[in-house]
Chains A and B, each alone.
Chain A
Amino acid sequence: MDFTSTLGLSAKGMEAQGERLRVIAENLANSATTGTSPGSDPYRRKTVVFADELDRSSGTTGVSVRQVTEDQSAFPKRYDPSNPAADADGYVKTPNVNSFVEIMDMKEAQRSYSANLNVMETTRGMMMRTVDLLR
């Protein structure tokens, strides 16, 4: 373990949180995407699953996005007979995306991202101090 592996760990953390943010953006962008044919399913909310990942060369445990799963909760229905995706009774399935949940998720991702950045800055300061010893 040295400072470079510490920086690598933080970078991996930031990468994972960035990926999470991308999925959140996807969900928010598609929060009104309905199906195209009558009775078809609309956009399904996605979630990321993180997993710790052992790096055997340095003995540290980084983080990675293991998979992007789909939220299997039920779709809310809205009465809108004129919509092309409406079923025989005139109901349209809307995405199971709750914008409040997404925003909260986004805040958490941001917080984790800044925490990783903070560690990186601190580590950099420590490295610099060590290098300064040569002066």
Chain B
Amino acid sequence: MSGSSLDVFGVAERKLAWADQRQAVLAQNIANANTPGYSAKDVTSFRDMLLQQVSGASEASGASATLARGTVSTGRSLDGNAVVLDQQLEKVAETDNAHQLAMNLFRKYAGMWRTALGRS
């Protein structure tokens, strides 16, 4: 349904998939907030992921955010755990916003299509 050169639905869908995946990784971090020796993980940023997909030939694999291990350079607690709860929660809120944004974009664009089709 990509009528214009800008594939809004495709991008919005990828962003939703990305938010979904990131949320799972963040839930993992928070669940392991007291596990000895555990380091927080995160997915690659949406921008980087999109650039990879545009340039790389791995288009067929779809939205695949790769895990970037232990990128957070904060201190570890005595049991070797490196999850900062506030930081993770902030990321959760950020992901929630990203999801909402993509969803609104999707909805607005679908509304425009509906208007164009004369169904208000």
Interchain CA distance A129-B39 in the complex, whole Å:
31
Q: Is A71 interfacial (CB 8 A cutoff)?
A: no
Residues of chain B in range 19-60 having any CB-CB distance to chain A below 8 Å: 19-21, 23-28, 30-36, 38
Interchain CA distance A52-B41 in the complex, whole Å:
13
Interface residues of A, CB < 8 Å — how many?
A: 35
Q: Which chain A residues have a beta carbon within 8 Å of chain B's beta carbons?
A: 1-3, 5-7, 9-10, 12-13, 16-17, 20, 49-52, 60-63, 108, 111-112, 115-116, 118-119, 122-123, 125-126, 129-130, 133
Given contacts A122-B23, A130-B16, contact A49 B36 (CB under 8 A): yes
Name the contact of B99 in the complex, choosing from A60, A63, A126 (C-beta under 8 A): A126
Chain B binding surface SS class: helix
Given contacts A3-B20, A126-B23, contact A62 B96 (CB under 8 A): no
Given contacts A50-B32, A115-B85, contact A9 B27 (CB under 8 A): yes
Given contacts A13-B31, A112-B85, A115-B33, contact A1 B21 (CB under 8 A): yes
Given contacts A119-B27, A126-B96, contact A63 B32 (CB under 8 A): yes
Interchain CA distance A12-B106 in the complex, whole Å:
33
Query: Are A112 and B34 touching (Cβ within 8 A)?
Result: yes
Residues of B within 8 A of A115 (CB): 30, 33, 85, 88-89
Name the contact of A111 in the complex, choosing from B25, B85, B95 (C-beta under 8 A): B85
The residue in B20, B27, B30, B34 that gathers the most chain A C-beta atoms within 10 A of its C-beta is B27
User: Could you name 20 residue pairs across A and B whose Cβ atoms are closer than 8 Å?
Assistant: A1-B20, A3-B20, A9-B24, A17-B34, A20-B34, A50-B35, A62-B28, A62-B31, A63-B32, A115-B30, A115-B85, A115-B88, A115-B89, A118-B92, A119-B30, A122-B23, A125-B96, A129-B100, A133-B106, A133-B107
Given contacts A63-B31, A63-B32, A126-B19, contact A1 B103 (CB under 8 A): no
Chain A, residue nearest B98 (CB): A126
Interchain CA distance A57-B32 in the complex, whole Å:
19
